[in-house]
Chains A and B, each alone.
Chain A
Amino acid sequence: MRLPCPICGERDRREFYYQGHATLLDRPAADADAGAWDDYVHNRDNPAGETRDLWHHEAGCGAWIVVTRNTVTHEVLGAVLAEKAKS
């Protein structure tokens, strides 16, 4: 598996650490209700198809990136820096 690091270019999957869905980018306000925090910390969809994942280029440049890929075809559709992906 190869992932396109926006800084380093396409690299072997071994260089990356996998975190989970990009939901983690949208941190609720400190006083948001319990449901919002529950969703943020615990609840994830399990899509068949396109999904956005967080990866850390741990053995590379150190950037956190958001990778869009297809869980059915394994196609990797692109990646952006997490600091620029914030919605």
Chain B
Amino acid sequence: MRVAGKGLNPNGAPVSFTFDGTSYTGREGDTLSAALLANGVRLMGRSFKYHRPRGVLTAGSEEPNALVTVGQGARQDPNIRATTQTLYDGLAARSQNAWPSLKYDAMAVNDLASPFLTAGFYYKTFMWPKAFWEKLYEPIIRHAAGLGALSGDAVEETYEKAFAFCDVLVIGAGPAGIMAALTAAQSGADVILVDEDTQMGGRLLAETAEIDGQSGPDWVAAQLGALAKMDNVRLMTRTTVTGAYDQGTFGALEQVSEQNAPLNTPRECFWRITAKRSILCAGALERPIAFPNNDRPGIMLASAVRAYLNRWGVAAGSAVTVFANNDDAHRTALDLIGAGVTVAAVIDSREDAQSLGDYPLFSGAQVIATKGRLGLKSITVQDARGTHEIETDCLAISGGWNPSVHLTCHMNGRPTWSDDILSFVPTDNSIPDMTVAGAARGNFSTLGCLEDGISVAKATVTSLDLKSPQIATPAAEDDPYSIQALWQVDGTGRKWLDFQNDVHVKDVKLAAQENFRSVEHMKRYTTQGMATDQGKNSNVVALAVLADATGRGIPETGTTTFRPPYVPVSIAAMGAGSQGHGFAPERHLTSHNASVDRNAPMVEVGLWYRASYFPKPSETTWLEACNREVNVVRNHVGVCDVSTLGKIDIQGADAAEFLDFVYCNTFSSLKENRVRYGLMLREDGHVMDDGTTARLGLNHYVMTTTTAAAGQIMKHLDWVRQALRPDLDVRFASVTEQWAQFAVAGPKSRELLNSILDEQIDNESWPFMACGDVGVAGVQGRLFRISFSGEHAYEIAVPARYGASLFGLLTTQAEAMEGGLYGLEALNVLRIEKGFITHAEIHGRVTAFDIGFDRMVSQKKDCIGNTMSRRGGLLDAEREQMIGLKPVENEHKLTAGAHLFVEGADAVSENDQGYVTSVCHSPTLGHDIGMGFLKDGPNRYGERVMLVDHVRNNHVLCEVCHPVFFDPEGGLARG
């Protein structure tokens, strides 16, 4: 019910919304829960396990009960706390975990069966038979329990991530946080003040307390105005600090817009804030008392009742009762009476409680029963005089306040029990460079918070070598916090602790009885505190119950720890920006557009996109195109963009010695203007990478790496130079991106090149493995006579700005001589026909010995991997070594990944003889060919083995052969 003239926005515009299809009108500035209460709606959800009718308990992000679903399809947001959902015109919210309706929920039968569904029930009941768990029990349980559901559609909305830095991060903008921010800012520090609410001010927005003679909200507005004017202050509302991490890093979730915002507007932003110092002013959260049936809609925390009244002008009931063990009871009653709301009774468990106003007071009394299935109707109060039934539609409860210690626990900190406030307070230095101020460390009076904010901030700026400013403490109430322990009330009926996970007092007692006495065991046995609210309201009471049940004190019982995130964070926010084109950088070749224009399918190779093949209109399969391209290279000339290979420029007086150290073979003996194939090992003796390296000058080389390993090799070279061989004078730089490089391969390759080179080449000037500078259509480039196809071939490189142009020119010239482009598929066939290895073969478990290159490992020098490569086990003839494979029947197909077995042997791992790494159809030979590794392979040429592919169900009898299928003498490349 709305109270005329009350609230921070009494004249706010009307806002229409629906809940479970019924239309309501709220007010601008409302949360969904405030608007529902204003419309007299108390029933907002069904509980997780027993489907108990539940109403809103709190007015903040700690809300365990009032979880709703907003939106449909891809924009469906489940488990939205009604207490933090800002109302907007057209908002459509739905209740969760209820069918067919919130009022008549069929699964509420669970509640009748509750004596059987106590803690540990599932563990004990659904053990046998084992197979039933997955097929029967779990689906049923999952269907019965739960919260809101995802739509299953991909998120369409925009989410973002961002980084921020400051000297002082102030978390929470209540009285302590505001004074801390003002103090730190006046010292000149860069300050970020964050608060999870839509408006800063904390409890000052929800209470009637005055500061310096102003109302709380007015005072807050004035301070925020001052802060907003300062360049060194950044104010972030609707931003919840979700975690405290190493070296002053914090995660924070900003709610940027509502569900009705355009799709291109970020919904949430996940911030990483780095702060030199932080001040935690997160306040405190009120806790309930465990009395029988304390979960009915209409029973809520006293602080929430005051917040709905003072901030939103909503009376949570028409005849309100209050039950507390501290002064909050009276504060609540006075606020309600002041607003004209009937207070039916105040029940204070303290014997000496005095009435502060005109309301019926039951001192030394407790609530022992409640009535009203879908909403509170009456309570039963017991005091020294007996029992009294009181009609009420709202019971405000307060079991005291728990400081919000959560962030201080994120790095293994354990809070300390305080007998003064009967709760846990943060332990000093739990988070490096963080201090805690205000209610978050048990200072509950307004003045105490203001003072604490100032003094903590002063100490903080002093530690940053900044001058501590003079700041006067505003005048405010300094009432002592008076509380008497009351955790649970005896009586018939379940006394709820964790509302979100449906844990009650008996569950905790059962855990203790069954010897789950450790607080961590009790937590897991009962699921207390394991819901999305992490037991913010309930943990301390549950600990008190456990302490009582085990005959220990609360400090000895200890507490479970809070972990990040403080509030639920959507996965979409953490993965923001990483969908679609943002998933990974896309590296495009200079030939990219021309390849796409020719309808070449582009495939990912690492981050690069390479043309798979270049289809002709008449071709219907990739294999047709691939076969044609192979034939073009073998018979005419082919052009392929090979710029993706890593290229590293290496210079220095010790460049040759450096290369001799990183390669297992020798490069100091390489002549200038010549290229040599090189093999790199890891220090454990296995192959790391291979490639060619050209010597451009006495102290100048250019190394190539495989496409996949380019980054790894650069890191490795940095490592060797800096850490292992700082004695060597050598410098290197990646030039992968500087050069566009194209393979020109086939019998007519020289003819093609001579049509574009400024000076003609011949076999004498450019023999096999020669390299050097050339002029290419007026541009200085580099030419390497190397071959990855076995053909007479070259690689020609020009600065990348000319790449697209040269690619076009090479294509035109090639096509004029019956040649053409070839893609990755044909490149692969050409190299398999020649038995050239790629990372399919050097996959990390093979040695130089395994690929038949053991003689390349120089015995004359030390190099990376040399010593370990000589271990006996790495040179054993029984190792799987590289071989070629061809099907005995020409039409049979080979498959990569298949394993090899002796003909007739069972195809089981015990009989495994080796495996297949690469296969292709060879148009040159007219049948499939493959490469693989076979035990003692080089001594088994001519032998037959069975290729077995269990995945694709392929069995092919193969002949083992030398891995070089085509031109074994290598005459073509030299020709």
Question: Do the two chains touch directly in the complex (Cβ atoms below 8 Å apart)?
Answer: yes
Whether B411 is near chain A, meaning CB under 8 Å from some CB there, is yes
B428 cross-chain contacts in A, Cβ below 8 A: none
Whether B246 is near chain A, meaning CB under 8 Å from some CB there, is yes
Are A1 and B722 touching (Cβ within 8 A)?
no
Q: In this complex, which of A12, A27, A58 has the most chain B Cβ atoms within 10 angstroms of its Cβ? A: A27
- Report which of A17, A42, A64, A76 forms a contact with B722, defined as CB distance below 8 A: A64
Closest 10 CB pairs of A and B: A2-B247, A30-B862, A82-B723, A1-B246, A83-B726, A83-B722, A74-B246, A64-B722, A41-B684, A82-B722
Are A27 and B724 touching (Cβ within 8 A)?
yes
Q: In the docked arrangement, what's the CA distance between A42 and B683, Å?
A: 10
Whether A44 is near chain B, meaning CB under 8 Å from some CB there, is no
Are A58 and B723 touching (Cβ within 8 A)?
no
Interface class of chain A by DSSP: mixed
Whether B715 is near chain A, meaning CB under 8 Å from some CB there, is yes
- Report which of A1, A58, A83 forms a contact with B715, defined as CB distance below 8 A: A58
Q: In this complex, which of B163, B249, B718 has the most chain A Cβ atoms within 10 angstroms of its Cβ? A: B718
- Report which of A30, A40, A86 forms a contact with B866, defined as CB distance below 8 A: A30
Nearest A residue to B721 by beta-carbon distance? A83
B684 cross-chain contacts in A, Cβ below 8 A: 41-42
Are A64 and B719 touching (Cβ within 8 A)?
yes
Are B866 and A56 touching (Cβ within 8 A)?
no
B411 cross-chain contacts in A, Cβ below 8 A: 74
Q: In the docked arrangement, what's the CA distance between A54 and B640, Å?
A: 40
Nearest A residue to B272 by beta-carbon distance? A12
B163 cross-chain contacts in A, Cβ below 8 A: 12
Whether B274 is near chain A, meaning CB under 8 Å from some CB there, is yes
Interface size on B, residues (CB 8 A): 24
Q: In the docked arrangement, what's the CA distance between A76 and B723, Å?
A: 21
Distance in angstroms from A71 CB to nearest chain B CB is 12
Interface flags for B708-746 (1: CB within 8 Å of A; 0: not) read: 000000010011001110100000000000000000000
Whether A49 is near chain B, meaning CB under 8 Å from some CB there, is no
Interface size on A, residues (CB 8 A): 32
Are A86 and B868 touching (Cβ within 8 A)?
no
**A3-41 contacts to B (CB < 8 Å):** 10, 12, 17, 19, 24-25, 27-32, 34, 37, 40-41
Distance in angstroms from A27 CB to nearest chain B CB is 6
List 28 contacting pairs A-B, 8 Å CB cutoff, sorted by A: A1-B245, A1-B246, A1-B249, A12-B274, A19-B719, A24-B723, A27-B683, A30-B866, A32-B867, A34-B871, A37-B867, A37-B868, A40-B683, A41-B683, A41-B684, A41-B868, A42-B684, A54-B723, A56-B718, A58-B715, A63-B722, A64-B719, A74-B246, A74-B247, A75-B432, A76-B247, A81-B722, A86-B723
Distance in angstroms from B727 CB to nearest chain A CB is 10
Q: How many A-B residue pairs have CB under 8 A?
A: 62
A42 cross-chain contacts in B, Cβ below 8 A: 684
Whether B248 is near chain A, meaning CB under 8 Å from some CB there, is yes
Q: In the docked arrangement, what's the CA distance between A62 and B715, Å?
A: 8
Q: In the docked arrangement, what's the CA distance between A10 and B718, Å?
A: 21
Distance in angstroms from A18 CB to nearest chain B CB is 12
Distance in angstroms from B654 CB to nearest chain A CB is 14
Nearest A residue to B715 by beta-carbon distance? A56
Distance in angstroms from B863 CB to nearest chain A CB is 9
Q: In the docked arrangement, what's the CA distance between A19 and B871, Å?
A: 24
A76 cross-chain contacts in B, Cβ below 8 A: 246-247
Distance in angstroms from B658 CB to nearest chain A CB is 14
B715 cross-chain contacts in A, Cβ below 8 A: 17, 56, 58
A58 cross-chain contacts in B, Cβ below 8 A: 715
B722 cross-chain contacts in A, Cβ below 8 A: 63-64, 81-83
Given A25-B724, A40-B683, A56-B715, 10 new contacts (CB under 8 A): A1-B245, A2-B247, A12-B163, A25-B723, A30-B867, A41-B868, A42-B684, A54-B723, A62-B718, A76-B247
Q: In the docked arrangement, what's the CA distance between A34 and B683, Å?
A: 13
Interface flags for B395-422 (1: CB within 8 Å of A; 0: not) read: 0000000000000000100000000000
Are A2 and B246 touching (Cβ within 8 A)?
yes
Q: In the docked arrangement, what's the CA distance between A76 and B246, Å?
A: 9
Q: In the docked arrangement, what's the CA distance between A42 and B867, Å?
A: 14
A62 cross-chain contacts in B, Cβ below 8 A: 718
A27 cross-chain contacts in B, Cβ below 8 A: 683, 724
Q: In the docked arrangement, what's the CA distance between A27 and B274, Å?
A: 37
Are B245 and A86 touching (Cβ within 8 A)?
no
**B229-252 contacts to A (CB < 8 Å):** 245-249
**B835-888 contacts to A (CB < 8 Å):** 862, 866-868, 871
Nearest B residue to A69 by beta-carbon distance? B246
B871 cross-chain contacts in A, Cβ below 8 A: 34
**A70-84 contacts to B (CB < 8 Å):** 74-76, 81-83
B432 cross-chain contacts in A, Cβ below 8 A: 75
Distance in angstroms from B145 CB to nearest chain A CB is 37
Distance in angstroms from A20 CB to nearest chain B CB is 11
Interface flags for A48-66 (1: CB within 8 Å of B; 0: not) read: 0000001010100011100
Nearest A residue to B723 by beta-carbon distance? A82
Distance in angstroms from A65 CB to nearest chain B CB is 9
Nearest B residue to A74 by beta-carbon distance? B246
